[in-house]
Structure 1
């Protein structure tokens, strides 16, 4: 696997610098930007032509907070996968950030192994949801999963093939792996993924998984 280019955005100097040390000493990780705020990152992207694969963003920052920065990145730099790192972990915030394009949401007190796993998984599959995030998604809007009822009351109509592909996406299959499973080309699978994203009005793979969990299409283990 090639190196993962990572940016850190956090206004707390000691935390940001400690996280930078962790990234720099982890094999396969390449720290390309260490920013004290959202505007600093946007300026670096505009002026330095940075290639960023994963951005680790704090939620609470003066000036431009993580919510605002995430929205701007989704609009102007959609290929950057965003991991939110926050002291606030509640159902509304988790689902809001994933709905607006974040690929993962972690508590700031997570351990270094989980953060490393999240970075690698987000880079590979486009999403990483731990138990806290899964619980938040399941409980969002007081939603109670009843698989049969959920499938018959989807807000959009998915074809059998689209549902099949969505389930495999949730199992972290790549386009090539889905194609091999369903005897389709990777290009055809990508076409289906784009159709699904457009149908359910989400932004990326994390949004697809969020939709599938909320509507009982898949049951991911806690």
Structure 2
């Protein structure tokens, strides 16, 4: 991967960089991608170091339109797997989103967690956050309930690219997944999140028509 992008950054940083570019294209190339990335870039706009701790890796801002409300999307990227993923990602991802919601007051914002391997306990923890209250550690009177964290693996990302799926489609898909009935976390992911098994995937028997890009509200 480093030979295809740059040899000045480690693989996790490159993965984060590629994810940011991918999401910018999925979003119809709207906004300034460099404003969304939390990376240090060189003179050629290639990555050097990844996001510092304490905040999400990438934060996209979406203005209100007929297809979704104004919101932020926090993108969290990791190459950690197995028990390392559970130890390294479960707490920071929910903390980043919880703090963002408390700070901005916009409860429509949510998080997408992207990785090469989805640990079952990570899926379970993120799904359970829908029903858990997150408190400001400095002020217990400040809190939010119902964190929306959608886990994706790199196969999902590949299918998003191959099928040219738009953010309008993904937003509705993620909303359906988040609001679906409670069930075993792996079955929830397979049935409601997984891109290949969804109606977004055009190789299914019932093709899905690609939606137009959003029209801003006036």
Q: Normalising by structure 1, what TM-score?
A: 0.41
TM-score, normalised to structure 2, is 0.41
More helix by share: 1
